[in-house]
A and B are shown apart, each in its own frame.
Chain A
């Protein structure tokens, strides 16, 4: 079997396994996995920019929040149904990523990190400023009646799981196709050596802008789905902490690998979940685990697996 065939088989196999788990998992882990899949979409979006293009953003929470509020505000104030509301969320992230990309890509390196951080702070403060609509820090609940779309109640555990899986599957396969497409390959070339890519005739700025837009839009989809499936939109999701999370998930799972974002999110989620049962200092446990992984598996789980065992792993 060709490497492409093996890779496609692996990814479709994982999606089938996740589908089967819908009917197998106990309620607690079932709920967790739905949440993990939505957060993994966010990590997939982040991976497009960080893992494949080599741009480190410290403000990705703004895209997650744009999706969440784009969806939530249209449901709450305009009475839209979930379908159009999710599209509004995606378009909010798309619009924001175009603006942020056009401005932030005038900088590079540390300056790019700072500019994205500042943009995210602006979005966070904007949410707080318009408290009348957003309910500020407190956020707002999306009622069960508002989460019914085409007769499907998205607050139901199984429907929620399947919706999360559908979103995750779309984004996972989108990345799979992206890195096989010349555009994706060019992003990797830019990550490896930006000047060399330019000398070969690639418009580096345009490709980076494309990466910011794809990344921001996927992150917005994650935000919209999270708000809709778990029934809440809040300013917490626009804080710096939510910009750091996807970076950690991607680093843990393996930057520049397709499955890395999912594996990293899964690991981190359960690490915090399990350690919080043992101690209140659970973030310390997570921190130690991160240090150890950085020391002994600097390429993340999937990155190390690719280097040491499975060379065809995308």
Chain B
């Protein structure tokens, strides 16, 4: 279980997360929803150790991740695909994947596995990452995170700016990960994508955790979407 327990996170004097708690179970897709500036990306960065906690703690399968330096968090089995992809843009697709593989010492087998999930990347192996389309860049960023063979996968707005066919690919991967027992934490603004992927939806408002409900309950009563996301 990936757990955020009553964490406070600030940027200087501006507190963004207030006593925020969240649980991501293995084999489930948990979606974090809220308005812009609610603290969704901040929560992901805090998990990855990129932001210091004012209080509270983050644990990954019982290990206190928030006590570790950022570079040790992926070794606990946490893969992160940040908003905006953040690729090694001047390197080729093959080199981006290789750097992902090297991080955990995984083999060519893992490389083939990842390329099987994203066959389009196989056709682009020698192409510079910055020359890929938005959807392909998202695939590459996700592929690189999968190279770590994560137990928990954090996806920050993976469908942002993508065409429907690409969104379907990303959805397929998230569901595939879920089937393999990976816990997925998804930050997503597209309601249709959330309803088709997530098991649980957690709402965040002004840095505070609000309701947590199953996606079936959300389908039956969409008033929470209006209240917390404004749709």
Contact = CB atoms under 8 A, between A and B. Distances in A.
A141 to B, nearest CB: 47
Interface of A: 182, 185-186, 188-189, 192-193, 195-204, 311
Contacts, number: 58
B91 A188 contact: yes
A192 B102 contact: no
B86 A201 contact: no
Interface of B: 48, 50, 69-75, 80, 82, 86-91, 95, 98-100, 102-104, 126, 144, 148
Given A199-B50, A200-B148, A186 B102 contact: yes
Contacts of B50: 195, 198-199
Contact of B75 (A193, A196, A201): A201
A201 B104 contact: yes
A182 B100 CA distance: 11
Given A199-B74, A200-B148, A185 B102 contact: yes
B74 A189 contact: no
A193 B87 contact: yes
Given A182-B102, A186-B102, A189-B99, A199 B82 contact: yes
A185 B99 CA distance: 7
Contacts of A311: 126
A185 B88 CA distance: 11
Contacts of B88: 188-189, 192-193, 196
Given A189-B88, A192-B88, A193-B87, A201 B99 contact: no
Contacts of A200: 74, 99-100, 103, 144, 148
B98 A203 contact: no
A137 B6 CA distance: 63
A200 B82 CA distance: 11
A186 B96 CA distance: 11
Contacts of B148: 200-201
A54 to B, nearest CB: 11
Given A182-B102, A199-B86, A200-B144, 8 more contacts: A185-B95, A188-B95, A195-B50, A195-B86, A198-B70, A199-B70, A200-B148, A203-B71
Contacts of B91: 188-189, 192
B68 to A, nearest CB: 11
Nearest to A192: B88
Contacts of A182: 102
B103 A201 contact: yes
Closest 8 CB pairs of A and B: A201-B74, A192-B88, A200-B103, A201-B103, A189-B99, A196-B86, A203-B71, A182-B102
A298 to B, nearest CB: 13
A240 B99 CA distance: 36
B78 to A, nearest CB: 9
B144 to A, nearest CB: 7
A312 B103 CA distance: 24
A201 B71 contact: yes
B102 A204 contact: no
B71 A202 contact: yes
Nearest to B80: A199
Nearest to A197: B99
Nearest to B129: A192
A204 B99 CA distance: 13
Nearest to B74: A201
Contacts of B73: 201
A199 B48 contact: yes
Contacts of B100: 200
A297 B90 CA distance: 17
9 contacts: A182-B102, A185-B95, A189-B88, A196-B82, A198-B71, A200-B103, A201-B71, A201-B74, A203-B71
B221 to A, nearest CB: 37
**Which of B73, B87, B88, B95 is packed against the most chain A CB atoms within 10 Å?**
B88
